[in-house]
Amino acid sequence: MNIPERNLKSFAHQTLEKIREFVHLENLDIHRLPGWVKSANVRWASLNNSLLFLFEDSSLENDTFTNSGDVKSDVQFLLDLPEFIPRAACFKAPDNPGGGLIILVGESGEGKMPILNITSSYSSLFNIGYTNYHVPLAILNNFIQILTPAGRNGTSEIPAIRFVPFAIFVHIDDFSDFNALWNRCATHIENSLKRIHDLEGDFYQSQWLPKEAFQTTKEKSVIVLGKYSDSELNELLQVRDYLRAKGYDAYLIRDLPEHPMMSNEEKVRLWTSASRFCMMIDREAAGHIAEYEYLKTQRTILALLRQKGKASTYMIGDEHLVDFQYINLFEFEKSPLDIMGVVIDWAEKLAKKRAEEYGKVYPWRASN
């Protein structure tokens, strides 16, 4: 099958555009739908006279497209298995020309795991690619797993399993006219997405919360560290409130959530690594000396604030001289509030530089 790659990519792109147009026109909440509806990693492959497209969630804001070349079965493609020629198929694809989309719809949510079991390592799911013609086929929200025959102990093994968010299989005869094909498929896909939005949307919305919370935390959160006693604690609170007045979500570690299974070290590492930057007031020796080492090893942007000419210990605070650019020492006369503007300016410049430089190095960010 000799189809230009741009045509295959165009098909995938048009499918996403049609779905997103429907979501917009129906005023559906994108957060109540599978992640691939918003941004997708799309793979496609050729199977004799059929084309297979798989749409999976993307962690980026844009879509990505990959050509997987030729395959011998839909199971090989969907489960990303080594090539094999199927000896049988679980389902026979209808062959009536002009027929509408056949879609296998599973469910998503707490305790819902619809699984399509394939009981032979050499079976395909559908007989597509080995028949003269088949109607358009799709899979939505199903696990596909291969089960080996039960052994002596009576249990079956699972050599392969993958979750299929959305896949569509098209015969070559239907590929050339996208609009005609979409008219045959649209109602089935749209009704399925509408049902997911209305009945299972809470599940998808809950999945978005951690992602959005992390983005917000990394953009706006600042952790203030130091000694928690009397005047030192009051100073920490003043710095926290100064940062809040500047629009940051500033916290002391003690005021952030924790889980019974977390150690205090894990709590500090979790919240400081998720922050935009941290500030540490170093007047007297306290627990923040241990926290300093955590932040140093996890490359957290850290401003160490000391009264001029004083330090809790010489064991910390010299890293900025030669070794680490993400730690810097700032000295104040009486109060750390006197130098907050300079400190914030340094931290913000470094945070932005990090984002720019990492964007150049990591290709999946550069394409975002």
pTM of the model as a whole: 0.74
- 90 touches 118 (CB < 8 A): yes
User: What distance in Å separates the CA atoms of residue 107 and residue 140, rounded to the nearest whole number?
Assistant: 8
User: What distance in Å separates the CA atoms of residue 72 and residue 46, rounded to the nearest whole number?
Assistant: 8
For 102-122, write each residue's pLDDT tens digit.
Answer: 999 987 666 667 788 888 778
- 316 touches 305 (CB < 8 A): no
For 271-306, write each residue's pLDDT tens digit.
Answer: 889 899 999 888 876 667 778 888 888 899 999 998
Shared domain check, 170 and 52: yes
Residue ending a domain, among 157, 182, 210, is 210
User: What distance in Å separates the CA atoms of residue 191 and residue 251, rounded to the nearest whole number?
Assistant: 45
Task: Work out how many domains the chain is built from and give that number.
Answer: 2
User: What distance in Å separates the CA atoms of residue 355 and residue 219, rounded to the nearest whole number?
Assistant: 11
- 72 touches 46 (CB < 8 A): no
- 156 touches 150 (CB < 8 A): yes
Shared domain check, 157 and 297: no
Query: What DSSP assignment string belongs to 10-34?
Result: HHHHHHHHHHHHHHHHTT--GGGS-
Shared domain check, 234 and 180: no
Shared domain check, 304 and 159: no
pLDDT higher than 80, residue 23: yes
For 28-87, write each residue's pLDDT tens digit.
Answer: 999 999 999 999 999 999 999 999 999 999 877 889 999 999 999 999 999 988 999 999
User: What distance in Å separates the CA atoms of residue 29 and residue 206, rounded to the nearest whole number?
Assistant: 13
Closest CA to 131 of 95, 160, 155, 98: 95
User: What distance in Å separates the CA atoms of residue 346 and residue 301, rounded to the nearest whole number?
Assistant: 10
Q: What is the pLDDT of residue 22?
A: 97
37: in domain: yes
Shared domain check, 46 and 90: yes
pLDDT higher than 60, residue 321: no
Q: What is the pLDDT of residue 39?
A: 94
Write out the residue range of the structural domain in which residue 262 sits.
226-366
pLDDT higher than 80, residue 14: yes
* pLDDT band at residue 324 using 50, 70 and 90 as cut-offs: confident
Shared domain check, 187 and 331: no
